[in-house]
Amino acid sequence: MTNFQRGPYPATRMRRTRRHDWARRMVAENQLSASNLIWPLFVFDGQGRQRIDSLPGVDRLGTDQIQLEVERAVELGIAAIAIFPATDPSLKTEDAAEAINPDNLVCRTVRQVKQAFGDSIGLICDVALDPYSSHGQDGLVQDGYVVNDETIPVLQQQAIVQAQAGCDIIAPSDMMDGRIGAIRKSLDASGFTEVQIMSYAAKYASAFYGPFRDAVGSSGNLAGGSKATYQQSPTQSDEALHEVALDLAEGADSVMVKPGMPYLDIVRRVKDTFAVPTYAYQVSGEYAMISAAAQNGWLDRKACVMESLMAFRRAGADGVLTYFAPEAAQWIRESESQS
Ligand SMILES: NCc1[nH]cc(CCC(=O)O)c1CC(=O)O
Ligand SMILES: [Mg+2]
């Protein structure tokens, strides 16, 4: 804002531009469209759907269901989907070897979706070991500590098998130091120069991930263990800028702040400082809060979802990963056809 001042009341009446719906739309500074939405989906090895108690309305999807849901996403104009696996517990090991199996659930799902939908929607895959490790940590564990440098080659290989399957955007969510540069190097060396990296650059050690861990079945494995030695402390703000700067220097195409609503200050600082494509993740706990309150009749689901998504846009996010994506896209469509 400049130091320009409007004349005082009564010459200026701020309410004039708020009087009618058309007038409010005319002055709207921020917009939300389906292109701003990324939909995270959980898959399992089987058919049908599995309910997730802590994420009411979000199901794990079997092979037959993923097809239907992606079709819906494409039809609604959602930009991209992010695929997360609920790995069979028998496949979880100390070294998370299933993460680099070219025929693991994520890779099979990516192949299936790519074959059916081609480039009509973007496919994002997480790079981190937690859906595959018996300890539920994102990296390898040695003497009770999540080790950085030993984890990186596994993450590189995980990125390669996902790119080979047809993933468009590799999204490392593990918060190891140096993994963006290492993954970029491996992708390029394997001929995947066009595969993007969306870095979970400023990811906080948050209690709001609880329902996600139920969804991928890692909460039991983690068993109260903490990710505080690699994810950022909620006390940190400047540090997030340092994290983002490093990931951009290492070759990230876009960056993410996570969680979302409690960290909108970080979204704004990142966007203002770097002016790169910036995403925010409205995480599982945020979904659960709004859903639970709405189920109780305490909040209006649609109004609160749309307000929360606009808040991300206002804070500077180019897009939002949200479990509300298909509902929100549908509501956006309905409001456009009405006006
Ligand atoms: N590294 C895995 C990962 N990728 C996305 C989420 C959380 C997403 C959500 O809560 O919706 C997590 C959980 C975690 O770091 O423990
Ligand atoms: Mg980092």
pLDDT 10s digits, 248-292: 999 999 999 999 999 999 999 999 999 999 999 999 999 999 999
Residue 219 above 90 pLDDT? no
Given a cut of 70, is residue 1 above it in pLDDT? no
- What are the pLDDT digits (tens) for 130-185? 999 999 999 999 999 999 999 999 999 999 999 999 999 999 999 999 999 999 99
Q: Is 243 annotated as a binding residue?
A: yes
- Cis amide leading into 153 (omega within 30): no
Domains and CATH numbers, the chain: 31-338 (3.20.20.70)
- Is ipTM over 0.95? yes
User: Can you give the pLDDT at residue 220?
Assistant: 83
pTM of the model: 0.96
Q: Is the CB of 209 under 6 A from ligand 1?
A: yes
pLDDT at residue 106 greater than cutoff 70: yes
Question: Is the minimum distance from the CB of 206 to ligand 1 under 6 angstroms?
Answer: no
- 283 C-beta closer than 6 A to ligand 1: yes
Each residue of 69-87: pLDDT tens digit? 999 999 999 999 999 999 9
Is the pLDDT reported for residue 13 higher than 80? yes
Q: For residue 136, which atom of ligand 1 is closest to its CA?
A: 16
At residue 207, the 3 state secondary structure works out as helix
Q: How far is the CA of 294 from the centre of ligand 2 (A)?
A: 36
Q: What is the pLDDT of residues 308-338, one digit of tens each?
A: 999 999 999 999 999 999 999 999 999 988 7
Helix (H, G, I), strand (E, B) or coil at 169: strand
Residue 43, pLDDT > 90, answer yes
For ligand 1, pick from 92, 130, 230 the residue to mutate: most ligand atoms within 8 Å of CB.
130
- The closest ligand to the CA of 199 turns out to be 2
Amino acid identity, residue 267?
Answer: V
- Residue 339: the pLDDT is 67
Q: Strand 140-142 relative to strand 145-147: parallel, antiparallel, unpaired?
A: antiparallel
In this prediction, residues 204-224 reach a mean pLDDT of: 91
Using DSSP, state whether 219 is helix, strand or coil: helix
Q: Ligand 1 in contact with 82 (CB < 6 A)?
A: no
- pLDDT-derived band at 218, boundaries 50, 70, 90: confident
Give the residue carrying structure tokens 């609160």.
Answer: 304
Q: Count other Cβ atoms within 10 Å, centred on residue 220.
A: 11
The mean pLDDT value of the chain amounts to: 96
